């Protein structure tokens, strides 16, 4: 998968993996990685699906209606990419923090529900329910932060609740913060995510 790689500083062993929203690219969330942990290595991906000139991480049939077959194959591709790239750069996947916004958060949510991942943290900015294919017998727990707004025009609140339920069912440790700034990535939200990550 097409990506940018930035090496860790000051012997940090953490890696932040960034997935942008629809129409974004691999540069969009780089400032966020620096803000969350300036020493961490960074892998920032570009979604390779094209929708009217916009980059996405998987196909959709219409707004909020996902092409689940494509999503599942992109989820498997993401899993293989992470395993390969972490090995190639000699990074520790169990210390990874996956950070996604909107469409990028949806691919990460799919990965967390469906794959037996070992990543330590995931920060999902305005995710939806990607699908209902869950892995019920997961051994490893990821600390997942779900950030949403109760006036988000793209993500209805019941979707946020449903996603948190599914993540809990798949043995993840879920924290949920609710804001009132629509679908934006507002400073109040990123500050809350930074504090959550600092608390471990
Ligand atoms: C999606 O398609 O992943 C969601 O609707 C969010 C977005 O608009 O990208």
pLDDT digits (tens, 9 = 90+) for 58-109: 999 999 999 999 999 999 999 999 999 999 999 999 999 999 999 999 999 9
State the pLDDT at residue 25: 98
**Residues contacting ligand 1 via CB (< 6 Å):** 21-22, 60, 63-64, 102-103, 106, 128, 154
CATH of the domain at 99: 3.40.50.1820
- Residue 98's DSSP bridge partners are 17, 122
State the pLDDT at residue 101: 98
Numbers of helices and strands, H then E, in the chain: 5, 11
Helices marked H in the chain = 30-36, 68-88, 103-114, 157-169, 187-199
The answer, yes or no, to whether residue 136 has pLDDT greater than 80, is no
Cα end-to-end span (Å), the chain:
29
Going from the Cα of 13 to the center of ligand 1, the distance in angstroms, rounded, reads 31
Residue 76: domain span: 3-199
Q: Which residues are catalytic?
A: 102, 152, 183
Total number of domains constituting the chain: 1
State pLDDT tens for residues 141-174: 999 999 999 999 999 999 999 999 999 999 999 9
């Amino acid at each position: 998968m097409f990506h940018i790689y930035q090496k860790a500083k000051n012997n940090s062993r953490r890696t932040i993996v960034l997935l942008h929203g629809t129409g974004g690219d691999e540069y969009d969330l780089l400032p966020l990685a620096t803000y969350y942990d300036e020493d961490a290595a960074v892998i920032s991906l570009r979604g390779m699906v094209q929708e009217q000139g916009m980059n996405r991480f998987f196909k959709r049939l219409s707004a909020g209606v996902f092409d689940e077959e494509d999503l599942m194959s992109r989820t498997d591709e993401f899993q293989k990419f992470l395993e390969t790239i972490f090995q190639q750069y000699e990074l520790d996947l169990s210390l990874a923090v996956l950070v996604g916004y909107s469409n990028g958060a949806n691919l990460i949510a799919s990965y967390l529900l469906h794959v037996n991942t070992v990543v330590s943290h995931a920060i999902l900015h305005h995710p939806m329910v990607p699908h209902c294919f869950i892995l019920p017998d997961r051994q490893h727990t990821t600390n997942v932060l779900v950030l949403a707004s109760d006036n988000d025009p793209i993500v209805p609140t019941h979707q946020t609740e449903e996603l948190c339920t599914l993540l809990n069912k798949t043995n993840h440790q879920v924290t949920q913060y609710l804001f009132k700034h629509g679908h934006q990535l507002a400073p109040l939200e990123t500050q809350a995510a930074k504090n959550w990550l600092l608390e471990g």
